Structure 1
Amino acid sequence: MKRKVGLTIVISLMMVFSVIAFRWIKHRMEYAVTDAVFVKADQLSNVGFQKVSGRVIKLYKDLGDEVKKSEVIAEIDPTDYQLNLQNIRAKIESLEAQKEQLLTQLTRVSQELSVNYSMSDISAKEVKKREQALEKQLSQVQAQLELAQKDRERYKNLLERGVIPRRTFEEADTRYKVLKDQEESLLKSLEELRLSYKKSLENVSLSRIAFLKQKELKAQVEALEKEIESLKKQEELAQNYLSNTKLTAPFDGVVAKRYVSVGDVVSPGSPVYAIVKPDSMYVEVLLEESKLRGVQKGCKAYVRLDAYPNKVFEGVVEEISPASAATFALVPRDISAGEFTKVVQRIPVKIRIIKGDASLLRVGMGGEVEIKRVR
């Protein structure tokens, strides 16, 4: 009797074991199962002061605090950057004042130059014409004077010999003296005109010097404009640096880590906070290549996390990496010599959670996943 009971128990246990084994095998054929599961986030960012360095004076957020996009979350001491910006603006104001003075001076010189040069040039040309006319007139008078002198000498000889009356000689002498006076007057006028022409030429030369001064003033204005333009670019850069003394959140999210404390000195690029966007979380599965059969985009997946063993999160396969995880290792395996140990490769599979309380997810959590294979 005891033997029959014992046999019955053994048979029952074998049947239970067979059912369990069948179910386990069937489940493994229908599902790809692995415990290489990690919670990650598409938007997990280490944020810090990108262009400036200094002492942290304010931290507005702490671990677990929510942040809004563009919200100020930290500040460093802006004193040095404010002073630099003030100095640049003071230089710009000083140069702008110098430029205004030069422009005023340039306007005055240009106006005077325009009037003086025109008048001097016109005056010189008119004097030259009058000089040429007088020279021509003088030439005519001198020719007449030469004839009158010859007539006077001839009439004087004739008078001394008693050939002509004294009146005829006196008329020739008077004519000679009148022409002589005309010559002297013309020579005097011509000398005055030449002095006037020389003065006009000097005025024209002074006007040309004024042209050079005008050109010099324009060059000084252009040099100031270039310097001001350069300072304005520096001002823009200094303003940018000053605005960067306030750290803002790049997106809506939650503070996952705070790296520094008030009073710490930070350098450009060093992280201050790690911020994660909760609705960007997903599950990454490193699926063995031997289990990849039947796993495609759109396959349903069931995730159990170690932190919540009694909760099942339903998801869907969103991406399957075209390369194994080992491909991107910092120190890849060297198989060029043909000597290597065969290792099962793992393919990254991205699963997006579609059912379940996603707010419970935390980056870095682990667990187990079952992916429904496509037949």
Structure 2
Amino acid sequence: MAIALVIGLVVVSDHQWGEWVSAAAIQSTDDAYVEADVSTLSARVSGNVLRVLVNDFQSVKAGQLLVQIDPADYQAAVNAAQAAVAGARAALDNLANQEALQRALLQQAKAQHDSAVASQTVTQQERDRQQTLLNGGIAGTQQKVQQANAAYSEAVAGVAASLAAIEAQQRQLDVLVGQEGTLRANLDAAQANLTSAQLKLGYTSVVAPFDGEASTRAVQPSDYVNVGTNLISVVPVPNVYVIANFKETQLTRVAAGQPVDLTIDTFPGQTLRGQVGRLSPASGAVFALLPPDNATGNFTKVVQRIPVRIEIDPGQALTDKLRAGMSVEASIHVDDEH
């Protein structure tokens, strides 16, 4: 009987304790740390490191050159690509000149055809006139008729030859026009190769993506790096925030916008102001490499912790001294909202 009473008191006390924790005006945890969105810079091209222009933990500015990979091979590739583009453009220009010349030859052939047609008309008229004179016995002779017929036949042949010349010149023009598509495709390919070569040349210069501080250098001059090799990391200080892991029983009334007091272990006695940014969509256990499987074996209930992102209010002197990884004690005022 006494044992049952003790167990009952423990259960009731545990339930009331949970309600008291959830109802507290301030929810605190020391399972919190300063975090930053660290950017790890990796090599996008392979080659030997020519220079490392930053020291460990040095402040850097956005766009500042940090690591220089030997650009010689990539500069040569750009030069070759530029020459290929120039050659492709020259081929197109030469084709345009050939087309212009061919169009002129076609017009010349058409003019010769017009002249041949006119000559045919004149010789036909002369043939008819000589035939009429011969038939009328006026002044015509058989010899003149024969000469007129020969001239007319020659004119007819000239017209046929001029038509053949027009067709030949037109076919040649069609061939040249057909080559234009191929040459333009060659130019497009050469320009694409040039763009790719220029990009790779640019990748030999590794620059800081934003203002911050460099981490420990992972490479030194003369090191050979492959694509994907980590070179250096940049931490965007003072743009840091706090990740605080609260027990699930503490988050009953926690919401975005509530004020937070932050105490950094490195700076005891000094308090930073912040506010709740957002809550994680899942507990830390869900994102673990080996998540727990409660469907097997004996079950022991463990209070889960939910990560809460806390944004630090700007304009505080202590913010510039914060470094990622520092331990923090966070206290959320759940009864207050901004």
Which TM-score tier does this pair reach, normalised by the shorter chain?
0.7 to 0.9
Runs of 4+ in 1 over 6 A off after TM superposition: none
Correspondence for 2:4: none
In 2: Cα distance, 1:295 partner to 1:264 partner: 51
In 1: Cα distance, 2:199 partner to 2:189 partner: 15
Correspondence for 1:87: 80
2:51 is equivalent to residue 58 of structure 1: yes
Correspondence for 1:39: 34
In 2: Cα distance, 1:316 partner to 1:214 partner: 75
Write the letter of the residue equivalent to 1:361. L
The 10-residue stretch of structure 1 (274-283 or 92-101) with the greater mean CA deviation from structure 2? 92-101
Greater C-alpha radius of gyration:
1
Correspondence for 1:360: 321
1:97-176 correspondence runs (5 A): 97-118=90-111, 120-134=112-126, 136-137=128-129, 140=132
Write the letter of the residue equivalent to 1:243. G
3-state SS, counterpart of residue 62 of structure 1: coil
Question: Shift of residue 218 of structure 1?
Answer: 2.7
Question: What are structure 1's unaligned runs of at least 5 residues?
Answer: 1-24, 145-174
Preserved CA contact (<8 Å) 2:65 2:207: yes
Of residues 255, 261, 277, the one that matches 2:220 is 261
Preserved CA contact (<8 Å) 1:44 1:275: yes
The 10-residue stretch of structure 1 (53-62 or 105-114) with the greater mean CA deviation from structure 2? 105-114
In 2: Cα distance, 1:338 partner to 1:195 partner: 112
Preserved CA contact (<8 Å) 2:35 2:325: yes
Question: Shift of residue 253 of structure 1?
Answer: 0.8
Preserved CA contact (<8 Å) 2:238 2:322: no
In 2: Cα distance, 1:309 partner to 1:352 partner: 20
Correspondence for 2:240: 281
Preserved CA contact (<8 Å) 1:257 1:274: yes
Structure 1 296/122 Cα, relative in aligned 2: closer, same or farther at 3 Å?
closer
Write the letter of the residue equivalent to 2:115. S
In 2: Cα distance, 1:356 partner to 1:256 partner: 23
Count residues with an aligned counterpart.
314
Correspondence for 1:168: none
Preserved CA contact (<8 Å) 2:85 2:194: no
Of residues 208, 218, 229, the one that matches 1:249 is 208
Preserved CA contact (<8 Å) 2:66 2:207: yes
In 1: Cα distance, 2:32 partner to 2:91 partner: 70
Write the letter of the residue equivalent to 1:369. A
Correspondence for 1:49: 43
The 10-residue stretch of structure 1 (311-320 or 233-242) with the greater mean CA deviation from structure 2? 311-320
In 2: Cα distance, 1:282 partner to 1:46 partner: 18
In 2: Cα distance, 1:98 partner to 1:314 partner: 68
- The CA deviation string for residues 237-263 of structure 1, in whole angstroms up to 9 with x for no partner, is 211221121111111111133222222
TM-score, normalising length: structure 2: 0.81
Preserved CA contact (<8 Å) 1:39 1:282: yes
The 10-residue stretch of structure 1 (339-348 or 127-136) with the greater mean CA deviation from structure 2? 127-136
Of residues 230, 234, 249, the one that matches 2:193 is 234
Correspondence for 1:15: none
The 10-residue stretch of structure 1 (317-326 or 75-84) with the greater mean CA deviation from structure 2? 317-326
The 10-residue stretch of structure 1 (227-236 or 280-289) with the greater mean CA deviation from structure 2? 227-236
2:274 is equivalent to residue 315 of structure 1: yes
Question: Shift of residue 84 of structure 1?
Answer: 0.8
Structure 1 327/189 Cα, relative in aligned 2: closer, same or farther at 3 Å?
same
Of residues 86, 89, 92, the one that matches 1:96 is 89
Correspondence for 1:370: 331
In 2: Cα distance, 1:360 partner to 1:294 partner: 31
Structure 1 137/72 Cα, relative in aligned 2: closer, same or farther at 3 Å?
same
Write the letter of the residue equivalent to 1:35. D
Question: Shift of residue 63 of structure 1?
Answer: 1.8
Correspondence for 2:304: 345
The 10-residue stretch of structure 1 (232-241 or 102-111) with the greater mean CA deviation from structure 2? 102-111
Correspondence for 1:170: none
Question: Shift of residue 190 of structure 1?
Answer: 0.7
Preserved CA contact (<8 Å) 1:258 1:273: yes
Cα RMSD (Å): 2.9
Question: Shift of residue 107 of structure 1?
Answer: 2.1
3-state SS, counterpart of residue 215 of structure 2: strand
In 2: Cα distance, 1:335 partner to 1:182 partner: 126
